Chains A and B, each alone.
Chain A
């Protein structure tokens, strides 16, 4: 059974800092990996989708990498801003299902 773990569970950083969020998964036979952002009481916003054949994806200040063989993905956020404060969730795709981690709560202090 696929299990997804996100470390750290919570992170507080000063504005302007570069940061890395980690995601690990137990079964490397995945089709893709998706990173989401969730604001309190809201739905999920898709940030980046990495297909299993890809190593990384970039969108603005965000960069996500995928290492299938080691079962790891990282989300790199450059020059963090207070507006980046949210919960970040990773999910691995096994065919037509997504398995989610519990998320990392990020707070960027101004």
Chain B
């Protein structure tokens, strides 16, 4: 059963804490992406990775960090430097980074208490 999984589904964070969101895919895709969605808005790109051990900043990378040590995994860390982290976070993947269809995971809702 191929697809993209994200965990946890819901995450609560106290101010000043770092938290890590998990994204795993078994589609054998080279490229992976992290987006943030706020109410009534479109998705905005945080980071993306076209190949293992390489990643690039998207439009709103400040306060976030990522790693890509394995092809199937692309975890996102929301650091205490992110001023307004409460949002819905979506992970996606595509065959490669060139003009291919993107497929999305079910999302993680992060709330800062």
Q: Which residues of A contact B (CB under 8 A)?
A: 4, 31-32, 34, 36, 41-46, 49, 51, 89, 91, 93, 95-103
Q: Which among B44, B98, B103, B107 is the interface contact of A95 at CB below 8 angstroms?
A: B98
**Interfacial chain B residues near A97, Cβ < 8 Å:** 45, 48, 58
Considering the complex, give the chain A residue whose CB is closest to the CB of B94: A96
How many A-B contacts if CB must be within 8 Å? 62
Known: A34-B102, A44-B90, A46-B103. A96 touches B48 (CB 8 A): yes
* Residue ranges of B at the interface with A (Cβ–Cβ < 8 Å): 4, 6, 31, 33, 35, 40-45, 48, 50, 58, 88, 90, 92, 97-99, 101-107, 109
Q: Which of A42, A99, A102 contacts B107 (CB 8 A)?
A: A42
- Choose one: B42, B97, B104, B109; the contact of A41 (CB below 8 Å): B109
Contact A100 B42 (CB under 8 A): yes
Chain A residues within an 8 Å CB radius of B31:
96
| CB <8 Å contact, B41 and A102 | yes
Question: Do A96 and B42 touch across chains, with their CB atoms under 8 A apart?
Answer: no
**In the complex where A43-B90, A44-B90 touch, is A98 in contact with B106 (Cβ < 8 A)?**
no
- B44 surroundings in chain A (CB, below 8 A): 100
6 A-B pairs besides A34-B101, A102-B41 with CB distance below 8 A are A41-B109, A46-B101, A93-B99, A95-B97, A96-B48, A102-B40
Known: A4-B42, A89-B43. A96 touches B97 (CB 8 A): yes
